[in-house]
Structure 1
Amino acid sequence: MKIKNNVKCLSLVLFLFLGFYPNCQAQNRPFENEIKHIIEKYPENAFEKGGIVFTGSSSIRLWENLVEDIPNNKIINTGFGGSQTHELLLYIEETILRYSPSKVFIYVGENDIQEGKAVKQILQEYKELYKKIISHNPKTELFFISAKPSPSRWEKQKQFEQLNEKTLALSQQLGNMTFINVWDEMLDDNGSPKASLFVQDKLHMNEKGYAIWANKITPHL
């Protein structure tokens, strides 16, 4: 009788584990559907290795005119909305390494700050990104786009400025890494974000905002 009860308990445990494990796994891998869409968008025969990858959070994903704004380049856009640096690390194979790019332009960190992550931790994750990409191809050039001054997140101005300052310093220490400052040009004469560069949510950019980014990025191509 005791053996039967033990078997029943074991069966119940296995059922619960097998039943809930896929859900737990899904929770540990956010943005999985977006990543699958990116892979479907860029199958192996749809891109040439050695091109230029733009990746990071929604500011990259929503750059709908990226190819037109920065023409005559083999550009791959693997941005996925709402992502933080540790999530880009999680999907680094799908968003960067599989394309063997010659150059990678990265925009992450803003969501990290918004979610309360310390600048020190973000910088450590930047270093990990750098290490993994350079280990894959030592000739790859990395470009970290500075945090932008989003009006809806202006209360975290100091943290964003600190992140930009530390990222610049990191780029000066490491080879093949460049810091692109979009922050300053997106501020008005009073040092506040230019509202005219953003859409209604005061977080994402309109064409004027992306025009500034394109002007800052083009000299590095």
Structure 2
Amino acid sequence: MKALINKLHIAIIALILSHTAAEAQVVKWDSTYRPGKYVELVAKFKADPKSKKDFVFLGNSITAGTDWAKLLELPQAKNRGISGDITFGVLERLQDVIDGKPAKIFILIGINDISRNIPDSVILGNYKTMISRIRKGSKNTHIYFNTLLPVNSAFEKFKKHYGKDAHILWLNNEIRKFTAKNVTIIDLYPNFIDQNKQLRAELTKDGLHLLPEGYQVWADFLKKSGYLTEK
């Protein structure tokens, strides 16, 4: 009997230790993170006049890094990128975009979520929520959902964004499956990869953000594919 009790104690201890180890392996993530200038920029965006002819470019620093109206020669192009933003931040400020009922919304978001260890399934769920809310709140708005860009670890600057290519590929594959009405997928990724499946070095200044040459590749692709002129 005593031997049986000892074995039971050992089994319970082993179970506790294994559970503790499993908990230690769970990566923590935070949906409440917002960049330092988030509140300031959201207020600025809200104050900006809106038109049903607007083309809204919505995302993080990669979107924020150019003057879309000048780049595309489209005065109605509005930059709604916030450096460091994540999908939860976009969802928090999405209603202001929806209320403007723009003609088009171009979305590129998610690489910062990946760097912050937000699970792929959660990111994907947020993508679908964005689409659902826009379609419900602004029925005539055409949604253009971009696949994520690759990164280039050779620059060794944004290390939290590197080594997570599998997450980028998985999310891109899921984005390509979106088929809802008024939703078009813009597959940017193939236009930016080199032979090693990394962001082309000549298009980036730090392995994550784009140089003017990178934005030109983006703009040329949008024009060539007819995304700026289709109804």
Say yes or no: TM over 0.5. yes
Name whichever structure is richer in helix by fraction.
1
Following superposition, the deviation at residue 38 of structure 1 comes to 4.6
- Does structure 2 conserve the Cα–Cα contact (< 8 Å) formed by 1:182 and 1:212? no
In structure 1, stretches of 5+ residues that fail to align are: 1-26
Q: Deviations over 1:83-142 (max 9, x none)?
A: 111111011123x12321111001111111111122211111111111111111112111
Q: Aligned Cα RMSD in Å?
A: 2.1
Letter of the structure 2 residue corresponding to residue 156 of structure 1: K
In structure 2, stretches of 5+ residues that fail to align are: 1-30, 154-160
Match of residue 220 from structure 1: 227
2:204 is the counterpart of 1:204: no
Q: Deviations over 1:11-36 (max 9, x none)?
A: xxxxxxxxxxxxxxxx9573474343
Change (3 A) 1:176 1:41: closer
Change (3 A) 1:120 1:40: closer
Following superposition, the deviation at residue 194 of structure 1 comes to 1.1
* Bigger shift: residues 188-197 or 83-92: 188-197
Letter of the structure 1 residue corresponding to residue 131 of structure 2: Y
Q: Deviations over 1:137-188 (max 9, x none)?
A: 112111111111111434111110111000111x23x111111111112112
1:133 is paired with a residue of what secondary structure?
helix
Match of residue 97 from structure 1: 98
Match of residue 60 from structure 1: 63
| Percent identity over paired residues | 24
Number of matched pairs: 189
Task: Give the Cα–Cα distance (whole angstroms) in 1 for the partners of residues 204 and 175 of structure 2.
Answer: 24
Query: TM-score, normalized by length of structure 2?
Result: 0.74
- Does structure 2 conserve the Cα–Cα contact (< 8 Å) formed by 1:181 and 1:216? no
Match of residue 184 from structure 1: 190
- Spell out the pairing of 1:22-101 with structure 2 (5 A cutoff): 30-31=34-35, 33-40=37-44, 43=47, 46-63=49-66, 65-94=67-96, 96-101=97-102
Task: Give the Cα–Cα distance (whole angstroms) in 1 for the partners of residues 218 and 69 of structure 2.
Answer: 13
Match of residue 141 from structure 2: 140
Task: Give the Cα–Cα distance (whole angstroms) in 2 for the partners of residues 113 and 60 of structure 1.
Answer: 17
Letter of the structure 2 residue corresponding to residue 194 of structure 1: R
Match of residue 25 from structure 2: none
